[in-house]
Amino acid sequence: MSRLSASSAPSAVKQSKMSRQVYINGKLVPAEQATVSVFDHGLLYGDGVFEGLRAYNGKVFKLDEHVRRLFESALAIRLSVPMSQPEMAKAIDDTVAANGIKDGYIRAVITRGAGTLGLDPNRCSDPQIIIIADSISLYPKEFYENGLELITSSVIRNHPAALSPRIKSLNYLNNILAKIEGLKAGCVEALMLNHKGEVAECTGDNIFLVKKGKLYTPPLDAGILEGVTRNAVLDLASEAGIQSSESAITKHDVYVADECFLTGTAAEIIPVVKVDDRVIGSGKPGPMTKELTEAFHTLVRA
């Protein structure tokens, strides 16, 4: 497969200064020319996987971890990726460079490819590799300064025996339905429970609580995605001497927490000050949330 070389990345920008460059199967093309077949099972059935990544100062944060998770998701759904992990990492770096992205968001997608209107993945061919790099602002600045308000959605996370939450598949309808419910209630995020009634995660972010100086977050078997930012925060907490626990969390634990915050690649770290109309702690972003946020910002720009 042909790949864009680092030396050719700037020329791609010169060829189309008015358009974002999208990587598709080894080539960078203007965004308006980036297309896939209407018979692609990624479109027809959500049959594919993806990763969201962030670039800081032109460097992709935790690139190897994201690429590894992308390939693990593909392996879990028996999707053969027509390139190696180092080649994928290079393609992501090249796409970021070609678009002149310093601080931005990257979406890497692998679809099953075009097939028939039936479900049979064996009748699909030519998996599509798509990489998009652009700017992003997930939440307004005031939400980071003052905190979010959440509701608990009536939509629970998919049962892990049906679809593992550790697979970042293209089928996000479960999360979208919960997101719609949150937006209808005037909240930009919503808390999701698992099939046991325990706290899992939000529609696009992992959740952390602080209680009596200790950090808590749901374990992987609670039906959550193993977030790259989540793991980075756990590492930062350890380095700061903050005791943390990955253990089952209930809504009661959320309501009586001293602090609450969410983590995600796009969201980074964002405080939560109210859940289901209950004020969390002082009703303002707490000291541990601020400490970990500062440490995270130092880490990503190191």
Which residue, chain included where needed, has tokens 């808590």? Answer: 216
Q: Are residues 29 and 73 in the same domain?
A: yes
Selecting among 27, 168, 196, 251, the annotated active-site residue is: 168
With 70 as the cut, is the pLDDT of residue 143 above it?
A: yes
Q: Which tens digits make up the pLDDT trace of 204-260?
A: 999 999 999 999 999 999 999 999 999 999 999 999 999 999 999 999 999 999 999
Claim to verify: residue 249 and residue 153 sit in the same structural domain: yes
Indicate whether 255 belongs to any domain. Answer: yes
One domain, residues 79 and 176? no
**What's the token pair of residue 262?**
């969410």
Q: Is pLDDT at 138 greater than 80 in this prediction?
A: no
Give the pLDDT of residue 18.
52
> 41 and 154 in one domain?
no
Q: Structure pTM? A: 0.91
Q: What is the pLDDT of residues 163-176, one digit of tens each?
A: 999 999 999 999 99
Q: Which of 134, 157, 184 is the last residue of a domain?
A: 134
- What is the average pLDDT value for the chain, to the nearest integer? 93
pLDDT-derived band at 2, boundaries 50, 70, 90: very low
> At residue 8, does pLDDT exceed 80?
no
Last residue of a domain, one of 134, 156, 178: 134
285 and 167, same structural domain?
Answer: yes
* 79-125 pLDDT per residue, tens: 999 999 999 999 999 999 999 999 999 999 999 999 999 999 999 98
**Domains of the chain: total:** 2
pLDDT in tens, 21-78: 999 999 999 999 999 999 999 999 999 999 999 999 999 999 999 999 999 999 999 9
Is 27 among the catalytic positions?
no
175 vs 160: CA distance, rounded Å: 14
Residue 14 has pLDDT above 80, yes or no: no
- pLDDT score, position 193: 98
Q: What is the pLDDT of residue 37?
A: 96
CB < 8 Å & 24+ apart, contacts of 245-249: 245/214, 245/215, 245/216, 245/217, 246/216, 246/217, 246/218, 246/219, 246/220, 247/216, 247/218, 247/219, 248/198, 248/218, 248/219, 248/222, 249/198, 249/199, 249/207, 249/209, 249/216, 249/217, 249/218, 249/222
pLDDT at 110: 98
Of 107, 134, 161, the position where a domain reaches its end is: 134
Domain that holds residue 271: 141-300
Confidence of residue 15 (pLDDT cuts 50, 70, 90): very low
